[in-house]
C-alpha cells in the first residue's frame, strides 16, 4: 500500500517505513500529512477528498539537515553591476509510520508442506534447450570472395 502526500508545495509517493526529506517543518515528534491519493495492494484506489480527510498519513520527525549551497550571481555587462548571494535550504527528515487502511503486518503463519512424493509428481522438468547450429567459417568465405571478385570486375570495366 502506498499514498501520495502533499508537503512543502510538493508531492511524494510514500509507503510505511519510508524515510524522506521534505522542506523544513517546524514541528517535533509526530506529524500528519494531507494525502492526495491512497492505493491499496489489492488495486483499490481512494481519491475522494472527504474520505481522505478522515485518513491522514502519519509520520515521525527524525531531525533536520541542510542541503547543498546554491550560489546566486547577477551580472550586467558594461554597467559595473555585480551582485552575489547564496542560499542553503533546510530539510526535515521524516519517517512514515502509518498509512490508514494499510493492513497491519502479522506474523506469517506457516503452511504445512506437501509430502516430498507429491512435490516430485507436480514438478515438471524443463526440456533440454536446443542450441542453434554453429555457422562454419567456410560458409562465410565464399560470400566475401564473391564481393571481392565483383569489386575487381567493376574496376576493370571503368578503366
* All cell numbers assigned to 127: 526440456
DSSP 16: T
Q: Does 107 map to a domain?
A: no
- Give the model confidence (pLDDT) of 24-79 as tens digits: 999 999 999 988 888 888 888 888 888 888 889 999 999 999 999 999 999 999 99
Whose cell is 497491519? That residue is: 104
Count up the domains in the chain and report the number: 1
Q: Does 34 map to a domain?
A: yes
Q: Does 117 map to a domain?
A: no
Average pLDDT, the chain: 79
- pLDDT of 159 above 50: no
Per the structure, the complete domain to which residue 7 belongs is given by 2-98
Rg of the chain over all Cα atoms, to the nearest angstrom: 33
Three-class SS of residue 68? strand
At 62, phi and psi to the nearest 5?
A: -100, -30
Q: Does 68 map to a domain?
A: yes
Amino acid at each position: 500500500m502506498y499514498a501520495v502526500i502533499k508537503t512543502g508545495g510538493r508531492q511524494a509517493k510514500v509507503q510505511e517505513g519510508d524515510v524522506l526529506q521534505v522542506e523544513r517543518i517546524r514541528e517535533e515528534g509526530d506529524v500528519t500529512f494531507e494525502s492526495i491519493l491512497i492505493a491499496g495492494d489489492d488495486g483499490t484506489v481512494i481519491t475522494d477528498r472527504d474520505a481522505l480527510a478522515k485518513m491522514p498519513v502519519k509520520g515521525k520527525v527524525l531531525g533536520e539537515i541542510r542541503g547543498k549551497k546554491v550560489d546566486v550571481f547577477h551580472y550586467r555587462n558594461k554597467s559595473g553591476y555585480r551582485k552575489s548571494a547564496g542560499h542553503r535550504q533546510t530539510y526535515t527528515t521524516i519517517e512514515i509510520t502509518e498509512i490508514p487502511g494499510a493492513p497491519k503486518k502479522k506474523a506469517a503463519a506457516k503452511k504445512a508442506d506437501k509430502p516430498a512424493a507429491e512435490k516430485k509428481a507436480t514438478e515438471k522438468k524443463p526440456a533440454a534447450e536446443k542450441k542453434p547450429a554453429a555457422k562454419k567459417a567456410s560458409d562465410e568465405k565464399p560470400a566475401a570472395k564473391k564481393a571481392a571478385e565483383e569489386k575487381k570486375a567493376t574496376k576493370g570495366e571503368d578503366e
